[in-house]
Amino acid sequence: MGAETGNENRFTFGIDGMTCASCVRIVDRSLRKMPGVKFVSINLGTEKGYVITEPGVTIDDIIANINSTGYRGLAEVPGEEKIMKDFKRSRRMMIESLAVMIPLTVLMILHMTGMHLPWFPALEAAAALFVLLRPGRGVIRGAAIAAIHFHANMDSLVLMSAFFAMLTSFLNISGVEISSFGSISVMLISLHLTGRYIESHLKYNATSEIRALLAMKPRDAFIVRDGNIINIPVESITAGEIVAVRSGERVPLDARITEGSCTVDESMITGEPGRVLRKEGDELTGGTVVENGSVKAEVIRTGEDTFLARMIRLVEDAQSSKVPIQAMADRITGIFVPAIFIIAVLSGLTWWINYESFRPFLSWASSYVPWISTGTGAESTATFIFIAVLVIACPCALGLATPMALIAGSGLAARNGLLIKNGEAIQTAGSITTVFIDKTGTITEGKPSVVSHTIASEHLPVLLALENSSIHPLSSAIKEYCAGLSINPQINVSDIKETAGSGVTGILDSIEYFIGRPLDNSIYSSMMSRGETVMELRINGAAAGYISVADPVKKDSAEALTLLKQLGVRPVMLTGDSEETARAVAAATGIDDVISRVKPEEKLFRVQEVQKQGGHVCMAGDGINDAAALKAADLGIALGTGTDISIESADIIITSGRLIAVPAAISISRITFRKIRQNLFRASVYNLVAIPAAITGLMHPAVAEICMILSSISVILNSAGIRKINLQEIKK
């Protein structure tokens, strides 16, 4: 799945065959070497990849590169049908292996406790060969892919361990004086397949948010053609066509109501329960549910351009991305497998050469550890330790530590109306010290209305013509006011130019008109002290009246700013409006720091000023004048109700437009990063404890495999805890 954005392409795709962090590293390294590839992120948890490339690179090029590494690239992200098919196959392989392992383990215990079974080594050899070639053939295939392309992965370690354990059984029945470890071979494959099944089940549950979003995409819709209503697939609908949506149905695509009214459940957008009334002229978002009423609406966006499609793409991209802390884990896993193989060989050789010297230690340890035997001989003991070290080495938990937390964190954010565009934002948010917040449309509703004016009626058509060319949120109030007076805007105003943070100018009959920031605010101080914004009309530079607009504060703004302070974050209002208006809004919401009358480049300067002092800055805004500051800030948060350029410049998008989501976004990000650190600690502690135990002969290979599985499960379950958190708990 791909999308073109300006001078770059973005692709999200599936990758089949990856089993551990080493596999991820191989695919990642190969893609990074491709000409034209600017960014690569491979996620083991979702088995997906995400790349940003120059325009000339295609998805076919990406897939061909992945295939060259031995893994299989998938142009389309695997759907639920394939996921379930793979899940059922892993369950079948697990059951087959356990059906052999369980009775064999019982016989092994009987054999080891005194009931000598002379035919048992032959049974071990046969069972090991069957399990390896039948349910374990996927392990052989994974290891073979790695070997052909000159690298090693988790399958390589498991296969080597199982093969050498099985080999001891064949050597034993051939007369070689070595203990038979064929049962361990069966255990290793069986436990490995069991771990795979459990991991796949947990990962399937962890990605439920994406599947829930995909379920919101209607497959067909009713459209109006030639006066008839017909049912066709959504893919066949084009922009401009009229769709009919009745009570209880999902809106098929983004559309604008042309006839009728309805109440809509928009919780998928806002993350909040409740219904909203939509009438003629209002927009409907594809995927939302019409609960009462029926409407006809003109389709305005289709395919990958719809809100829901963009939302799904952003969540997938976030789940497939990396955070800076993962670079450390990647470096470790890059050297881990070959280093452990060398350690395993050296450990086995050391025990084989110095067996008699180490034997007293084994005698002492056998009193505490039941599986240690002191009479098996140097060869058997060295083989036992070699296998145990290899099994311990699988860095699976380390590879899952970051992606599983990202999956859960971005899913939680999506459920609460937050879209995290990149994984780096999750790590960055934890260190935010200052949040600069735009006023209009962010702290306030952004839907102002005219309170008073002194502009002569003959100048109102010129005023309307100027404001029709403006994208400033306050312009809508003037447009609505003039529409109520039936003002005709069809006049020939030329050379219209908008200066962000200042106002709009235009020429009519060689006369220059300007509407925007007053030259002297003191004239309007009484109105500004009430939170009103005053725009002055100037004709050829001379004041010709004013128009006063009030923009009500959002209901949740005061609570949001209080929560930011509780998080230890300093909120600062950063607005181009007058100081009097800004101070009035600040007083109503509890903001202590206010910076007013700033132009877009000054917003950027303010952000950089705090950064130079060592602070970490978040910028929250919704307008074109916020775009530069959003991009420069350590963390940019844009309201989904804002302009496209502000949304494109941000790291996190608030689809609900509610300011309360800003502290929620920071909290979710901090929680997610805390889970990542916990996961990395758990994975590292496991290896730091288990590897020395294996080298000293205290770790049985089967126990090592169980510990490895439990380590991975622990990481996944710890990450899954994020999904249980709700927005109300975050607010507390």
Q: Does 651 qualify as catalytic in the annotation?
A: no
**CA-to-CA dists, residue 574 to 36, 326, 546, 599, 628, angstroms:** 39, 34, 24, 10, 13
Provide the phi-psi class of 509: left if phi over 0, else alpha when psi is between -120 and 50, else beta. Answer: left
Contact between residue 18 and residue 47 where contact means Cβ atoms under 8 Å apart: yes
Q: What is the DSSP letter of 45?
A: T
- When computed from its CA atoms, the radius of gyration of the chain, rounded to whole angstroms, is 32
Q: How far is Cα 115 from Cα 59, in angstroms, rounded to an integer?
A: 62
Element at 277 (helix H, strand E): strand 275-278
Q: What is the DSSP letter of 238?
A: -
* 155, 330, 438, 651: the active-site residue: 438
**Two tokens at 317?**
């991209």
**Two tokens at 24?**
């991820």
Contact between residue 152 and residue 344 where contact means Cβ atoms under 8 Å apart: no
Contact between residue 245 and residue 307 where contact means Cβ atoms under 8 Å apart: no
Contact between residue 404 and residue 716 where contact means Cβ atoms under 8 Å apart: yes
Biggest CA-to-CA distance, the chain: 111
SS (H, E, C) 439-468: HHHHHECCCCEEEEECCCHHHHHHHHHHHH
Nearest 10 degrees: Cα torsion 330, 333, 339, 343? 140
Q: What are phi and psi of 435, to 5 degrees?
A: -115, 115
SS (H, E, C) 101-144: HHHHHHHHHHHHCCCCCCCHHHHHHHHHHHHHHCCCHHHHHHHH
Q: What is the DSSP letter of 421?
A: -
DSSP string, 457-514: GGGHHHHHHHHHT--STTHHHHHHHHHHTT----S--EEEEEETTTEEEEEETTEEEE
Catalytic residues, which ones? 438
